[in-house]
Amino acid sequence: MKTIMLVCAAGMSTSLLVTKMEKAAQAQGVEANIFALSASEADPEIEKGAIDVILLGPQVRFMLKQFEEKAAKINAPVVIIDMQDYGTMNGEKVFATALQLMEAGA
């Protein structure tokens, strides 16, 4: 089971992207727990340590450094979601990016 956390300003705009990523995971036969939170809700989830990768929405790109520092404690990669993929809600592409990050860290 792969756990992917998406972080955005309010946790709302990424919910559609989560749905599309879940469909992509299902189509590829990958068990994944994909969820979205606002940046202010992310810390408790990171502290649990059960996250494989953290994807930041383009609107919170300025928080990359602080998320990298938090995620380093649980050895989870952090990346900003490509603005075009985010804007078009390309769940397949964003899920593929998450998988690549997890495989690189494995």
* Domains of the chain, CATH where assigned: 2-105 (3.40.50.2300)
Catalytic residue among 4, 8, 39, 80: 8
Q: Is the dihedral of CA 11, 12, 14, 18 positive or negative?
A: positive
Residue 98: how many CB atoms within 10 A of its CB?
28
79 is catalytic: no
User: For residue range 59-72, what is the model confidence (pLDDT) as tens digits?
Assistant: 999 999 999 999 99
**Which of 39, 19, 22, 38 is CA-nearest to residue 30?**
22
Helices and strands per DSSP (H, E), number in the chain: 5, 4
* pTM for the whole structure: 0.94
4 in Cβ contact with 98 (< 8 Å)? yes
pLDDT value of residue 106: 55
How do the pLDDT tens digits run along the chain, 106 residues long? 999 999 998 867 788 999 999 999 999 999 999 999 999 999 999 999 899 999 999 999 999 999 999 999 999 999 999 999 999 999 999 999 999 998 886 5
User: For residue range 9-22, what is the model confidence (pLDDT) as tens digits?
Assistant: 886 778 899 999 99
